[in-house]
């Protein structure tokens, strides 16, 4: 009896079942969208990993899976090249891992894109003397421009906008505040790293009044006499 041959579908290798069983498969968890997720944690030689990945993709194709997500921690950087050689592409990266993806079906890639926006805040803080809290930055766009501005910052992953506004004011000026409302927001495109930017101006009520500026980021901070009339 002849041995089972490897079949090919539209240029994509499909391994026979007995071959897959001999090689083994990568451990994967089904996602909610008909795909699988592989979270690599243990060290592995790339020469062992490559045939495991190839057999796994073949199995997932036979099972009708769609998107494949592979998370490689930084200590497994040796597996990036063999993953790319099997048709995977970069999706996103954090400080400690790289996420690669592959769309299996012969149809348009429907995997969601990487995060498209950065979210920032500006804090409008006025005390009972109708003085507005303002700062001068040491670095960034306003460096050396002698411009007074609201405390601003970027919202962290998993952080609410209201919490970010309170945090940034505390970090830059030492003032404790309470979030009141969002006054305005705007959207711009092609900002930092080519991302779009959502910026929210938040109104906060001060709970303390003594300024302690953040020396690493802030050149000066003060309560500025407001030009606004009575509310």
3-state SS of 137-153 is ECCCCCCCCCCCECCEE
Residue whose C-alpha is closest to residue 231's, from 124, 128, 123, 121: 128
Query: Which of the residues 171, 178, 181, 217 is marked catalytic?
Result: 171
Type and span of the H or E element at 100: strand 97-103
DSSP 190: S
Tell me whether strands 67-73 and 97-103 are parallel, antiparallel or unpaired.
antiparallel
Token pair recorded at residue 44: 């592995």
For strand 131-137 and strand 152-154, is the pairing parallel, antiparallel, or unpaired?
unpaired
Asked about 181 being catalytic, the answer comes back as no
**Contact present, 54 and 86 (Cβ < 8 Å):** yes
Question: Could you tell me if 102 and 38 are in contact, meaning their C-beta atoms sit under 8 angstroms apart?
Answer: no
State the Cα–Cα distance between residues 182 and 197, nearest whole angstrom.
16
Q: Which long-range contacts (CB under 8 A, 24 or more apart) does 145-148 make?
A: 148/222, 148/224
Q: What is the DSSP letter of 2?
A: P
The residues annotated as belonging to the active site are 171
């Amino acid at each position: 009896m002849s041995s089972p041959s490897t079949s090919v579908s539209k240029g994509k290798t499909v391994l026979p079942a007995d071959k897959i069983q001999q090689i083994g498969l990568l451990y994967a968890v089904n996602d909610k969208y008909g795909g699988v997720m592989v979270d690599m944690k243990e060290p592995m030689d790339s020469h062992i990993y490559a045939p495991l990945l190839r057999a796994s993709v073949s199995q997932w194709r036979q099972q009708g899976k769609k998107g494949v997500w592979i998370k490689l921690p930084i200590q497994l950087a040796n597996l990036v090249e063999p993953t790319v050689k099997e048709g995977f592409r970069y999706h996103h990266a954090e400080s400690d891992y790289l996420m690669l993806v592959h769309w299996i079906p012969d149809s348009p890639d429907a995997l969601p894109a990487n995060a498209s926006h950065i979210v920032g805040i500006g804090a409008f803080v006025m005390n009972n003397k109708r003085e507005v809290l303002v700062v001068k930055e040491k670095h960034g766009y306003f460096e050396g421009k002698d411009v007074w501005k609201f405390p601003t910052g970027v919202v962290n992953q998993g952080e609410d906008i209201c919490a970010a506004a309170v945090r940034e004011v505390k970090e830059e000026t030492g003032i404790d505040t309470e979030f009141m409302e969002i006054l305005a927001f705007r959207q711009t495109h092609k900002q930092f790293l080519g991302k779009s930017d959502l910026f929210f101006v938040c109104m906060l009520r001060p709970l303390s009044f003594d300024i302690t500026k953040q020396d690493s980021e802030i050149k000066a901070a003060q309560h500025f006499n407001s030009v606004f009339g009575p509310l």
